[in-house]
Amino acid sequence: MKYEQPELPYSRDALAPAISAETVDYHYGKHEKAYIDNLNRLIKGTEFEDMALEEIIVNAKGPLFNNASQAWNHIFYFFTFSPNGSREPGGDLRKAIDRDFGSFEKFKEAFVDAGVGLFGSGWVWLCRDDDGKLIITQGSNAQNPLTDGLTPLLTFDVWEHAYYLDYQNRRADALKALWDIVDWDVVESRY
Ligand code: MN
């Protein structure tokens, strides 16, 4: 097996109440695992077998793109959180957020609005463009900003499987709760 699912750097119940242990069990334990298993099955014996995951994402189409991108997105998503990290951005990232969104509060509001406003399943992203400007993007299904040449810094999963056990249809509440577990040291390291 080429890609192994990385262990989470925290226990299954460490993100509660923002994300329950039960949701981590399903979302990480079943959904993320399935994308990685499918990815391994689809690249076997193909030209994609020796490519880096990011390279597969920008080159593949159809089911391989979907599973490669969903594998990458979920790993990126779960590694954004920690039970006791920095709860606010600092340094140059903070300056860029203030510059491009007005304030950290305004950024959080715009980010949740973008997630709530996405019809159906998908992802909302904070990205850095080639000029260093920060932008919020959103995309359906397995969308990934790498295909647009952007640098992803932060993402919230807005597929129902990410929140339905804990929040049912209340997507806005589910997204707002994630601010309690984002580790901004991790986000800054990606910037
Ligand atoms: Mn998901």
What mean pLDDT do residues 80-100 have? 96
pLDDT score at 25 = 98
Amino acid at 49: E
**3-state class (DSSP) for residue 72:** helix
How far does residue 99's CA lie from ligand 1's centre (Å)? Answer: 31
What mean pLDDT do residues 43-62 have? 95
Whole-model pTM: value is: 0.96
Per-residue pLDDT band for 127 (boundaries 50, 70, 90) equals very high
How far does residue 51's CA lie from ligand 1's centre (Å)? Answer: 23
State pLDDT tens for residues 172-191: 999 999 999 999 999 999 99
Indicate whether 1 pLDDT > 80.
no
State pLDDT tens for residues 19-43: 999 999 999 999 999 999 999 999 9
What mean pLDDT do residues 81-100 have? 96
Please identify every residue whose CB atom is under 5 Å from ligand 1, which is an ion: 157, 159, 162
How far does residue 11's CA lie from ligand 1's centre (Å)? Answer: 18
Burial class (CB within 10 angstroms; exposed 0-12, middle 13-18, buried 19+) of 126:
buried
Name the H helices within 60-102.
62-78, 91-101
